[in-house]
Amino acid sequence: MIKNIVKYKIIITCLIFGILFIIIEFFSFSNHMFSHVFHEILIRIIAFGTIFTLGLVLQYYRLQQINNENKLKESEAKVRNLVNNISDVLIEANVDGVLTFISSRIFRLIESGSEEINNSKLIDWLHPEDRDLYQESFKAALNSKASLSLECRIRNKKGYFIPISIRGSFAKINDVNKFFGVIRNITEKRKVDKMIRREIKKLQELDSIKNALVNRISHELKTPLISIFSGTEFLLYDFGNQLTEEVKTIIGDVHDGGYRLKTMVENLLTVFEINSDKIKFNPTKENVIQIIKQCIEDIIFQANERNVSINVELLDKIFLDVDKILIQKAIFNIISNAVKNTPPNGNILISTLEHHTYVEIVIKDTGVGITKKEMVDLFKPFGKIERFGKGMDVDIEGSGLGLYIANEIMKLHGGEIVLKSKGRNKGSTFTIRIKSKEIKSISTEICY
């Protein structure tokens, strides 16, 4: 702003001197107010002032030019210092691939002098096996104006090849196409990538060993557990009237423990099948209402023991393409979770809703509820929420696999499980959504 004011002052001064010169030189005055000598003196003063002012103008613009040149040199020095000190190599090349500029970092990378690489072609420094790829990428970037991006190898002075990445694109400078790019040494990146691949392979091997071990142990446990569970069940129901209360209690405890272990083993086997992509998925058209009722029958004894009532509002028939065994396991696991986390005298409502492209199975309980923090891990393997010692009258038994298995089964069906809860002691609502094709909407209500 100040510089502009100075410039305008000088211009105005020159104009004033010019106007005065014209007035004195070309206008005649009748009263002869100016003598010849005085006239000459004024003319010379004006001429001197004009020349002096023009000198100031020229000096001003000369100082401006010097100042601009100094700023340009300072800016160039900053850019040069920045270019030479960054770890990457900056390059400029013409359309023939000849290097017209390359930053000094290249000399540290390939350990060669400037006379060897300046005005040479970058392709001549690359590994013979990488030259065709570079040439194709270079031409493609030139023709399509797309960015060039590739990894290759560059030769150093000792004849060794160093892995590098080249990134860049073409741009027009004064109607001349030029390539501007960055070369980066990726030796350390390659080492890290190799180490990561090696560690991933180790983890995969360990995971494979773990899965095989879990699978083997689970199968070995499954047969004797079924025998224990079936044997104790046979004793309790067929010979219960011949047993003392003490013996019945002991056998009952063994039966319950066997049931929990059997369930855990079955869940472990299911998790193994899911994680190893060996789970069998055979969808057939099934009446899901019947499957829900079967799940309720399987869990009702446990619900009655906890004095938890189960109410249902179900459509009469819902025929869906599902894997009967898997969908039954998923629904059972969610109902079982509701029973376990609902205190005595609580209620569970199971209902079905029809929509245009899907149906919903809704399991709503009046249980202890779930916080936002707990929701994060709920559907993860072993994502059990620890409630022991927190003063909640709930069933704390379980492996934490049930909801994970249910969620994975719903993914196989192209469905989902949606969880809603307003927080602690405010109940929970699990909604199973399954794609539908045909729905018979006749409502029934039953209380168990």
Residue 114: pLDDT band (50, 70, 90) is: low
Mean pLDDT calculated for residue range 411-416: 92
Question: Could you tell me the strand order of the sheet in which 176-185 lies?
Answer: 99-102, 89-93, 176-185, 161-173, 148-155
**Among candidate residues 429, 333, 423, 419, the one with its CA nearest the CA of residue 370:** 423
CATH number of the CATH domain containing 353 = 3.30.565.10
CATH number of the CATH domain containing 199 = 1.10.287.130
Report yes or no: 325 and 266 within 8 Å, Cβ to Cβ. Answer: no
Residues 300, 251 share a domain: no
Rounded CA-CA distance 271/264 in Å is: 10
Q: Is 347 helix (H, G, I), strand (E, B) or coil?
A: strand
- Tracing tokens 């990428």 back to the chain, one arrives at 137
Express each pLDDT in 38-47 by its tens digit.
666 766 676 6
Residues 347, 384 share a domain: yes
Domain count, the chain: 4
Residues 421, 295 share a domain: yes
- Residue 46 domain boundaries: 2-84
| Weakest mean pLDDT among 69-83, 84-98, 186-200, 408-422 | 69-83
Residues 320, 415 share a domain: yes
Token pair in block for residue 338: 């509701």
Rounded CA-CA distance 227/219 in Å is: 13
Residues 110, 146 share a domain: yes
**Among candidate residues 228, 298, 297, 308, the one with its CA nearest the CA of residue 261:** 228
CATH number of the CATH domain containing 175 = 3.30.450.20
Residues 431, 333 share a domain: yes
Q: Determine the pLDDT at residue 395.
A: 56
Which amino acid is located at 379 in the chain?
F
Residues 434, 353 share a domain: yes
Answer whether residue 189 shows pLDDT above 70. yes
Residues 216, 339 share a domain: no
Residues 53, 103 share a domain: no
- Tracing tokens 């109940």 back to the chain, one arrives at 427
Residues 428, 295 share a domain: yes
Q: In whole angstroms, how far apart are CA 395 and each of 144, 234, 258, 350, 387?
A: 67, 25, 17, 20, 9
Report yes or no: 50 and 12 within 8 Å, Cβ to Cβ. Answer: no
Q: Determine the pLDDT at residue 81.
A: 66
Residues 235, 103 share a domain: no
Residues 177, 320 share a domain: no
